[in-house]
Amino acid sequence: MPVIKPASTVLVVKDHPVDGIRILLLKRNSKLNFAPDYWVFPGGRIDTIDGIMNDAMAHQTAQKAAVREAYEEAQLELDPNQLELFCHWTTPSGGNKRFSTWFFCGHYGPGNKEVQIDQSEIVDYKWIHPQHALNELSNRKLNLLPPTFVTLNRIKKARTYRDVREEFARTGIVRAKPVTILENGKFFCLYQGDAGYDAADILQTSSKHRLVIDQNNGTFDFEYEHCEHIPPVNGGVNF
């Protein structure tokens, strides 16, 4: 079983004068072992150079790692003290790599540099409205990991970076550790509170807290029923 490694990523948001925000997505090289060809937020594994990952220093260390990765992957210069944690995801068992990932959001101000990618690990980038990214996903023009999809749905109606911060503040930090099952071309992500979570059984449906991804047509359906004692990982936003 692979060791769960700490990682950090940052949702970079810039305001747009006409029709709302733009977020930065980076396309990962198709030759990478983890998430090849997927569009992601800048981020990566937390290294010892970033600091100590203990209870007292983990938050600060994760902030520094997000800043370092944003610079290495896109040449962005972000202030770690301005990054705000909005969720934490642990990748499910079953893969050859697992990460415990801190998700921050940060603002791309007018004084920041233009994005430059290395054409190695990252092969393309785009500034895109969250809803436009979701539309491209539906049209199978790009691939998104579940945490990215959930995040973009939460902020698809935001007009400013302030709106983004308010949405994340509304729920506080969301924590998710999904259990995943592949069945008949559908990828089920079960979250705490789902009746099938502990047994990894999609047929247990007395309560539902799950994301169902149809890999044949690229649809993502979020189901949340009869588990109101558990905060939904999507912040309660309709997809």
Q: What is the pLDDT of residues 164-176, one digit of tens each?
A: 999 999 999 999 9
Look at residue 238 and tell me whether its pLDDT is greater than 80. Answer: no
pLDDT of residue 161: 97
Where do the CATH 3.90.79.10 domains begin and end in the chain? 4-176
pLDDT of residue 18: 85
Helix (H, G, I), strand (E, B), or coil: what is residue 29? coil
Residue count of the chain: 239
Look at residue 225 and tell me whether its pLDDT is greater than 90. Answer: yes
Using pLDDT thresholds of 50, 70 and 90, give the confidence band for residue 218. confident
CATH H superfamily, domain 4-176: Nucleoside Triphosphate Pyrophosphohydrolase (3.90.79.10)
- Computed over every residue of the chain, the mean pLDDT equals 93
Place of tokens 């705000």: 84
- For the stretch 122-144, pLDDT in tens is 999 999 999 999 999 988 899 99
pLDDT of residue 224: 96
Report the distance separating Cα 70 and Cα 41, nearest Å: 9
Using pLDDT thresholds of 50, 70 and 90, give the confidence band for residue 180. very high
Using pLDDT thresholds of 50, 70 and 90, give the confidence band for residue 109. confident
Look at residue 239 and tell me whether its pLDDT is greater than 80. Answer: no
Provide the whole-model pTM: 0.94
pLDDT of residue 197: 97
Whole-number percent of the chain with pLDDT over 90: 80
Report the distance separating Cα 234 and Cα 239, nearest Å: 9
Report the distance separating Cα 123 and Cα 128, nearest Å: 16
Report the distance separating Cα 20 and Cα 239, nearest Å: 19
Nearest Cα residue to 62 out of 74, 50, 72:
50
Look at residue 7 and tell me whether its pLDDT is greater than 80. Answer: yes
